[in-house]
Amino acid sequence: MKVIRFAEDFPKLKDDFFTTIRSYDKNLNCGAKYTVKTPTKEFEAFLVDESYEKLMDVPTDLLCHDTNTSSRDDALEKLREFYPYIRVTDDVKIFYFTRLKSPYPYPGWFWCDSCGIPFRPGIGDKMYMGFAGHKPKGKCRFCIAEEEEK
């Protein structure tokens, strides 16, 4: 399993859903599980999505939250600690992660009861509600197809 390292224990890493801004040449696979390591802890996360932006087009609130700063200028300085030659006109990737232990992997997504991978319910998926106070459960279309083949 690939490892994503953070130099600090950023507050964003306490959230079930978090982002990280990385250089444009960083390649990660959407749908893959990753080990996230900080100086004091380690946990597993699932890469839900990625987007490409020019650094100057990244929304200020996302940039500040991601770098744990209060202004765009401070956020850019924080990024330059890790990427010394980065310019505001450079392309960056924004990776969207969810913790594997969160009750829901991403808004509108659920854990498959069989394989444990997050899925967004669609055609071919089976969803059912648990008892009051319990999260919805379901099986992804891949596990359903596998069961039907047996």
**What are the tens digits of pLDDT across the range 25-51?**
888 988 788 999 999 989 888 888 888
pLDDT at 30 (0 to 100): 83
- The more confident residue out of 80 and 141 is 80
pLDDT at 84 (0 to 100): 92
pLDDT at 72 (0 to 100): 92
Average pLDDT over residues 112-138: 60
Of 34, 38, 32, 46, the closest CA to residue 98 belongs to 46
**For the whole prediction, is pTM greater than 0.75?**
no
For residue 110, give the H/E element and its range.
strand 110-111
pLDDT at 136 (0 to 100): 55
Residues 6+ apart with CB under 8 A from 142: 115
In this predicted structure, the answer to whether residue 9 has a pLDDT above a threshold of 80 is: yes
Of 91, 13, 25, 84, the closest CA to residue 52 belongs to 91
pLDDT at 25 (0 to 100): 86
Q: Which residues pair with 36 in a beta bridge?
A: 4, 43
Of 17, 8, 95, 20, the closest CA to residue 50 belongs to 95
pLDDT-based confidence at residue 130 (cuts at 50, 70, 90)? very low
In this predicted structure, the answer to whether residue 127 has a pLDDT above a threshold of 60 is: no
Of 66, 63, 135, 68, the closest CA to residue 97 belongs to 66
Distances (CA, A) of 88 to 11, 66, 112, 128: 24, 16, 40, 47
Amino acid at 71: S
Please answer whether residues 19 and 48 qualify as being in contact, where contact means their C-beta atoms are separated by less than 8 angstroms. no
Residues 6+ apart with CB under 8 A from 71: 64
